[in-house]
Amino acid sequence: MSPASNEKEETLSSAIALLELLSTQHALENFFHEILNRKEEEEEEEARSKSNSKCVFFEISSTALRALSNVFKKETAETLKRSAVKTIAKKSRIVSLFIGDDQSDDMERFEELFGCGISMENVQKLFKFFARCTRSSGSSGGGGDVRVGSADDVDSDTNSDTDRNKYGVIVSVRLRCGESVAIGATYEESKNTGKFGKSENDEAFVAYPVAPSTKFLELQSSPGKETDDVKWLYCDDKGNARTEEMPNFKWKGKLRPWKISHQEKLFRGMRKVPDSVVKAEWWETSRPLAEERARQQRVADELPKNEIEKLRKACEIGRGAIDCVVRAIRPGVTPEALDVLCHDYICDNNAYPSPLNYYCFPKSCCISVNEVICHGIPDCRPLERGDIVNVDVTAFFGGYHGDLNETVYVGNANVDSGENSEAAKKLLKCAYECLASGIAVVKPDARYRDIGENVSSVADKYDCSVVRTYCGHGIGKHFHCFPNVPHYKGNKATGAMKPGHAFTIEPMINLSKEWRDELWPDGWTAVTKDGSLSAQYEHTMVCTEFGVDVLTKRTKNSPKVFPFIAYDHSSTGEAPLNDVGKTMQVDSEPAHSKIVSDLESLIRAFNNNVSI
């Protein structure tokens, strides 16, 4: 079992030990009744006028949970267990949803808790659990109870509903890799005998992967709440400098730079990379010297099959990282918090986040909002409903770099109305089709310059423009190398594709006809010259004897967040825009299907050990 898989199993074992602890009599008094006596929290949830179901929600990091799990052991003194349960109760909260015939009734609240675009299987598990949660008054704990029971149970078995109080709990654990796993269980209290324990009829469940809640992703340190370890400063001089004051600039759009975190005790103020991770050559020097030497090269490497497989592994890690980040994109979440998720996912998979310290870039991924074309530096500005956000991720593993990016809408573009949301949806659809049209060119002997012809024809159809300053690139042992892959028509790119050529296609599309860009004073952030929105999608691919192999294609568990795609929750998970779109998704099971199977086996063991 891999270290990542082992950590997930150990974490779930600890979570199940917690669920077992909550089935004890002292948990009824020190956990459930303690929470239900919180009048203010109850009233706050009651104010959610549409909500008709609620449960207890406890969120914790895997590291903290495993440390706490020592208290869950049978030999631990009861006084220590009671103290631990009280501590957990203080950190738990009551959460509520409106459950109706349509699961979209309270999807916004659901996504606040579990992330956006998660698999339909996990959505159904969680909604099914909440659907059993009903509200009633007059529990023995006072203040209303956190009841669990289906409407059918109430109608057909009144005695059962009268004789027992039932409680629902969800434990969401933020794993070391940045993803979360949620488990839920129900408990019953007999009003006649006072006996308390796990429910006989309601099985516990596990939902993975989900995202940490928006509340859990709130920054522990911020510009107004600095700590000794973390300071907040503006980035300046292409990442070489930091400043207290916002640099002067003739801003064109509405966006402004916000401060970024600076880890006072770490090298260059950057996030720590584990010692076990093999680092890119610029980790300490900020200079990719081998890449600079390779720029004189005018012939692309033809990778043999064994090297393509090494590149594929790096791409799979990059895909997992971007999926982890995209699930967490919701109003109120900061790019800083998203960068932490990306960094943790890549490092947890024993890889290095390629952007980190690349020519002094200060973060582990690029996050570009609204009019930012590319190379946005993750900062502390909370994302707002209606923003569009591009996440650009590259993972370095086994000596190879895997590069991809996606642009998503913050909120629900299919629910939001108005000119801005319609314009954003048009732009995202255009950018996605531009990528698909570029990939359609790839086959042996095709000219690299022809990619720009296809991309430009799609952009023209949508009355958008193609950025000319930045282009796709060769990739493999070097982050960026030959060939250059421009995306605009009339370009002068040289060379033809051969089997084994590995490169990216990443057209950057502006909503207006103005394709030119400007750089912010930080020396990295490229923005549209007229302040219009910009979007892009990127894949790493290799030319094959028969066409193209997209190495960063989406999996069945990739977040379903694109407003222009009709999702099919059977088969591959989404219906492509056209035949070309099929090359950008995968039919096979995602890499962590084995992990899910292991987690569910532990849950089955928990369900088979019923105590009431």
pLDDT at position 34: 87
* Confidence grade of residue 426 (pLDDT, cut at 50, 70, 90): very high
* Whether residues 334 and 364 fall in one domain: yes
pLDDT at 154: 35
Report the 10 Å Cβ neighbour count for 218. Answer: 14
State whether 152 and 185 are in the same domain.
yes
Question: In whole angstroms, what is the distance from residue 98 CA to residue 131 CA?
Answer: 9
Q: Give pLDDT, residue 47.
A: 55
Q: Is pLDDT of 329 > 80? A: yes
Per-residue DSSP letter, 179:
-
| Same domain? 397 vs 466 | yes
Q: Mean pLDDT of all residues in the chain?
A: 87
Q: What percent of the chain is predicted at pLDDT more than 70?
A: 86
pLDDT in tens, 582-598: 566 654 555 556 667 77
pTM: 0.92
Asked if residue 518 is part of any domain, the answer here is: yes
Examine residue 320 and state whether it is found in any structural domain, yes or no. yes
Whether 612 contacts 186, CB under 8 Å: no
**Does residue 345 share a domain with residue 212?**
no
Residue type, 395: A
Indicate whether 567 pLDDT > 90: no
Residue 59 counted as domain residue: yes
Shared-domain flag, residues 518 and 374:
yes
43: pLDDT strictly greater than 90: no
d(CA 358, CA 374): 15
**Type of residue at 459:** A
Q: Are residues 398 and 275 in the same domain?
A: yes
Q: Is residue 340 part of a domain?
A: yes
Alpha helices in 286-361 (DSSP H): 289-294, 305-327, 335-348
Cα gap 283→287, rounded to integer Å = 8
Residue type, 514: E
Q: Is the pLDDT of residue 321 over 60?
A: yes
Report yes or no: 407 and 388 within 8 Å, Cβ to Cβ.
yes
My answer on whether 49 and 186 are in the same domain is yes
The pLDDT of residue 234:
97
Does residue 228 sit within a domain? no
- pLDDT digits over 161-202, tens only? 557 788 899 999 999 999 999 999 999 888 777 788 888 778
- Enumerate residues 6+ apart whose C-beta is below 8 A from 164: 188, 189, 190, 191
pLDDT at 136: 37
Q: Which pLDDT score is estimated for 149?
A: 42
| Residue 67 or residue 335, greater confidence | 335
Q: Is residue 501 part of a domain?
A: yes
Give the model confidence (pLDDT) of 230-264 as tens digits.
999 999 998 899 999 998 898 889 999 999 999 98
For residues 113 and 104, give the distance between their C-alpha atoms in angstroms, rounded to a whole number. 15
Task: For 442-456, write each residue's pLDDT tens digit.
Answer: 999 999 999 999 999
One domain for residues 312 and 393: yes
Does residue 194 sit in the same domain as residue 247? no
pLDDT at residue number 155 = 38
Q: What is the pLDDT of residue 554?
A: 95
The predicted model gives 121-146 an average pLDDT of 65
How many CB atoms within 10 Å of residue 276?
8
* Residue whose entry in the numeric block shows the structure tokens 């509340």: 215
Tokens of 201: 């009829």
Confirm if 111 and 1 have CB atoms less than 8 A apart: no
Does residue 527 sit in the same domain as residue 405? yes
Percent of the chain with pLDDT over 90: 62
Instruction: Give the model's pLDDT for residue 100.
Output: 67
Domain hosting 179: range is 3-216+593-607
- Report the pLDDT value the prediction gives residue 418, as an integer from 0 to 100: 77
> Do 209 and 239 share a structural domain?
no
Structure confidence at residue 96 (pLDDT): 86
Are 370 and 501 within one domain?
Answer: yes
Counting the structural domains of the chain, the total is 2
Phi first, then psi, for residue 524 (nearest 5°) are -120, -45
Residue 289 in domain: no
Mean pLDDT computed over 466-489? 97
Position 140 pLDDT exceeds 60: no
